[in-house]
Chain A
Amino acid sequence: MTEPAAVGFAIPSASPFAGIRDAKAPPPADRPSPNQGLLYVEGVGKYYGDRIGCKDVSFDLWPGEVLAIVGESGSGKSTLLNLVCGRMVPTSGKVRYRESSGDLFDVHKLPEASRRRLLRTEWGYVHQNPRDGLRMRVSAGGNIGERLMACGSRHYGNIRKTGVSWLDRVEIDADRIDDVPVSYSGGMQQRLQIARNLVSAPRLVFMDEPTGGLDVSVQARLLDLIRTLVREMGLSVVLVTHDLAVARLLAHRLMVMRRGEVVESGLADQVLDDPRHEYTQLLVSSVLQG
């Protein structure tokens, strides 16, 4: 069967509209479009003195895509995550992010005010240890509401309503809204941290070992929750983990790191089922046995 001929949607160059786009407008590549990347990481490297944090890492992230960075501890995963989200300044390379307005800009050249605004509106950061990401002495409702209040919400009733609905989404009883996170279990704290990050409907979420330190049954539930939320909200995620099972469950694409370098990358199933690099083979065989 032959392919049907493409229906011509393109405006022919002879069209009266062709000349409307003036020369000063940004090049069309920077205009928003569903097919355009969200995050472009180009040759990013970081040296701690002589030691390598990570070296010459490049990847693109697309809307709705989950990218997992895996590798053993000390392989530069967290360094890379910190570089990408702007917490750390790279020694070389650059990171560009496309804002919801469609503009593409260099994350590390942004003024600090804009970067911090980005971090509490369009981005989320889920820490490995919920104690780093939550205010432990502030109630769950306050933790969830903080981003809303930082973005100018000044109506207590609405903030609380949002808090209740988010607790429900992350499967925490609504009557625990006034309890402080210290009184929560580890899994609940982690889910609360996720709710706190997602309340501003971010487009890009960074996760640093979100399931680290949780027991297996809690891990499974949390992974299920993350997967649901990612799909519902169309989130893009950069996920750092040393656990290949987590990567297989959540990630679309995978990057394997060793000693600060990316040794292999590709579709998650492809990399895990058919590892090419010897190091990946070692990783896969050491974890997925049995």
Chain B
Amino acid sequence: MSAEENIDVSIHNRLHPPMDPVPPDRSLADCPHPEGRSDDIPGKDLRQAEVFLKGEISGHKGIFAEGRPETPGYNFAYLDEQTKRMLRRAILKAVAVPGCQVPFGGREMPMPYGWGTGGIQVSAAIMGKNDVLKVIDQGSDDTTNAVSIRSFFRRVAGIPVTTSTGEATIIQTRHRIPEHPLREGQIIVYQVPVPEPLRWMEPSEKETRTMHALEEYGVMHVKLYEDIARHGEIATSYDYPVMVGGRYVMSPSPLPKFDNPKMHQSPALQLFGAGREKRVYAVPPYTDVRSLDFEDYPFSVQHWDKPCGICGSTDTYLDEIITDDKGTRLYVCSDTDHCAARLASRKDKRGGPDD
């Protein structure tokens, strides 16, 4: 065994000493591991399961679940048609004026505010029978929120769901843009907690609307100035303000600034839904998205000294996971699907699904 293989495999083995056989429900995307385990990390099941599936990068296709008959008593995709129309009108306006916050008549959803009510309403409004849905929460396909929303739409819309970024047509996300580049025709729906980027500086809604209308964005730089004055660098690491299409300053929701460059000239349509504040906004495909910065403190993204502990990736966004009581740390890709795909391609090259 080479040294490189040694590192990967040893970490992998330490986490899951006996490699499980594929459980019979492995193909169900909305099924987390049946019993919780002390060594559970986000995406663990997915990372294991991927190895045995076929797909575009390597034989990797993600976990896929066929649609199932819609639950009777619900309209397609839960919302009634009039509500969806209202939402689509708001979305069209948002697409027409990139980065501008458009109010909509938010509905009560069967979940609390802060869990993605805005994103779910936008997804429901744009969803068709032929769509394939992927839901991620902090990059992971198998955390509670992602699993719940996926199973919700599978039940009320009967559409197939997947974990593969490449296969999905609608990707609802909280906190991350997938590492796998998006393509034309895909729509990424963000769940947004605080849509107003000026809110931290200016508490008055009337005033912030005026500031947007008159393009008075100097105060955004005051926030960045404060960062540099206090921390010696722009310490804002998520929800980093961006200028969309050279006109509107927009909050990219709690996206890590690592993902900001991916929004720039993205071929996919990006929709943002804030359920509590009842606002949608959008970045149409191929739109300029610039992160604000200073001439002498240019925008930069996070980087890590270590590669991903599972797939060895050095160019992805890593989560830090504390694995025991002694403070041992493991850095793994936050995008579980991407991590699994890389792992699968490595194993394919080695010529076997398992070591």
Q: Tell me, in angstroms, the Cα distance from A154 to B228 when the chains sit together.
A: 13
Tell yes or no: A274 within 8 A of B by CB.
no
Task: Name 14 A/B residue pairs within 8 A (Cβ), A-sorted.
Answer: A112-B210, A116-B216, A135-B222, A138-B226, A146-B218, A147-B218, A149-B218, A150-B218, A151-B218, A154-B221, A156-B225, A156-B294, A177-B229, A178-B229
Residues of A within 8 A of B218 (CB): 146-147, 149-152
Query: A157 contacts B296, CB within 8 Å?
Result: yes
Interface size on A, residues (CB 8 A): 23
Interface residues of chain B: helix, strand, loop or mixed (majority): helix
Q: Tell me, in angstroms, the Cα distance from A112 to B229 when the chains sit together.
A: 33
The residue that B229 contacts in the complex, of A135, A141, A150, A151, with Cβ under 8 A, is A141
Tell yes or no: B297 within 8 A of A by CB.
yes
Given A154-B295, A156-B296, A156-B297: A149 in contact with B214 (beta carbons within 8 A) = no
Tell yes or no: B22 within 8 A of A by CB.
no
Query: A142 contacts B222, CB within 8 Å?
Result: yes
Tell yes or no: A139 within 8 A of B by CB.
yes
Query: B296 contacts A149, CB within 8 Å?
Result: no
Tell yes or no: B201 within 8 A of A by CB.
yes
Q: Which residue in chain A gives the minimum CB-CB distance to B297?
A: A156
Q: What mask results when residues 135 to 169 of chain B are scored 1 for a CB within 8 Å of chain A, else 0?
A: 00000000000000000000000000000000000
Tell yes or no: A155 within 8 A of B by CB.
yes
Given A178-B229, A178-B230: A155 in contact with B222 (beta carbons within 8 A) = no
Q: Tell me, in angstroms, the Cα distance from A280 to B49 when the chains sit together.
A: 90
Residues of B within 8 A of A154 (CB): 221, 294-295
Chain A positions within 8 Å of B, measured between CB atoms, are 112-113, 116, 135, 138-139, 141-142, 145-147, 149-152, 154-157, 159-160, 177-178
Q: Taking each of B216, B228, B229, B230, which has the highest tally of chain A beta carbons within 10 Å of its own beta carbon?
A: B229
Query: A139 contacts B216, CB within 8 Å?
Result: no
Q: Tell me, in angstroms, the Cα distance from A152 to B294 when the chains sit together.
A: 11
Tell yes or no: B57 within 8 A of A by CB.
no
Q: Which residue in chain A gives the minimum CB-CB distance to B295?
A: A155
Q: Taking each of B210, B216, B225, B228, which has the highest tally of chain A beta carbons within 10 Å of its own beta carbon?
A: B225
Q: Tell me, in angstroms, the Cα distance from A156 to B298 when the chains sit together.
A: 10
Q: Tell me, in angstroms, the Cα distance from A116 to B215 when the chains sit together.
A: 11
Residues of B within 8 A of A152 (CB): 218
Q: Which 3 A-B pairs have the closest CB atoms?
A: A150-B218, A149-B221, A149-B218
Q: Tell me, in angstroms, the Cα distance from A116 to B218 when the chains sit together.
A: 13
Residues of B within 8 A of A151 (CB): 218
Interface residues of chain A: helix, strand, loop or mixed (majority): helix
Query: B296 contacts A146, CB within 8 Å?
Result: no
Residues of A within 8 A of B214 (CB): 112-113, 116
Q: What mask results when residues 194 to 205 of chain B are scored 1 for a CB within 8 Å of chain A, else 0?
A: 000000010000
Residues of A within 8 A of B19 (CB): none
Tell yes or no: B7 within 8 A of A by CB.
no
Query: A150 contacts B219, CB within 8 Å?
Result: yes
Query: B222 contacts A138, CB within 8 Å?
Result: yes
Q: What mask results when residues 119 to 137 of chain B are scored 1 for a CB within 8 Å of chain A, else 0?
A: 0000000000000000000
The residue that B225 contacts in the complex, of A112, A116, A145, A147, with Cβ under 8 A, is A145
Query: A142 contacts B226, CB within 8 Å?
Result: yes
Residues of A within 8 A of B222 (CB): 135, 138, 142, 145-146, 149
Residues of A within 8 A of B221 (CB): 149, 154
Q: Tell me, in angstroms, the Cα distance from A42 to B153 when the chains sit together.
A: 67
Q: Tell me, in angstroms, the Cα distance from A93 to B229 when the chains sit together.
A: 47
**A151-B218, A155-B294, A178-B229 given; 9 more Cβ-contact pairs under 8 Å:** A139-B229, A145-B225, A150-B216, A152-B218, A154-B295, A155-B295, A155-B296, A156-B225, A159-B225
Residues of B within 8 A of A138 (CB): 201, 222, 226
Residues of B within 8 A of A156 (CB): 225, 228, 294-297
**A224 CB, nearest partner CB in chain B, Å:** 30
Q: Which residue in chain B gives the minimum CB-CB distance to A116?
A: B214
Q: Which residue in chain B gives the minimum CB-CB distance to A143?
A: B222
Residues of B within 8 A of A150 (CB): 216, 218-219
**A80 CB, nearest partner CB in chain B, Å:** 24
Residues of A within 8 A of B295 (CB): 154-156
Q: Which residue in chain A gives the minimum CB-CB distance to B211?
A: A116
Residues of B within 8 A of A113 (CB): 214
**B146 CB, nearest partner CB in chain A, Å:** 35
Residues of B within 8 A of A160 (CB): 229
Query: B216 contacts A135, CB within 8 Å?
Result: no
**B256 CB, nearest partner CB in chain A, Å:** 23
Residues of A within 8 A of B226 (CB): 138-139, 142
The residue that A141 contacts in the complex, of B219, B225, B294, with Cβ under 8 A, is B225
Q: Tell me, in angstroms, the Cα distance from A151 to B216 when the chains sit together.
A: 9
Residues of B within 8 A of A112 (CB): 210, 214
Q: Which residue in chain A gives the minimum CB-CB distance to B225?
A: A142
Q: Taking each of A135, A138, A146, A149, which has the highest tally of chain B beta carbons within 10 Å of its own beta carbon?
A: A149
Residues of A within 8 A of B216 (CB): 116, 150
**A150 CB, nearest partner CB in chain B, Å:** 3
Q: What mask results when residues 286 to 328 of chain B are scored 1 for a CB within 8 Å of chain A, else 0?
A: 0000000011110000000000000000000000000000000
Query: A135 contacts B296, CB within 8 Å?
Result: no
Q: Which residue in chain A gives the minimum CB-CB distance to B226?
A: A142
**B217 CB, nearest partner CB in chain A, Å:** 8
Residues of B within 8 A of A141 (CB): 225, 229
User: Which residues in window 235-268 of B have CB below 8 A to A?
Assistant: none
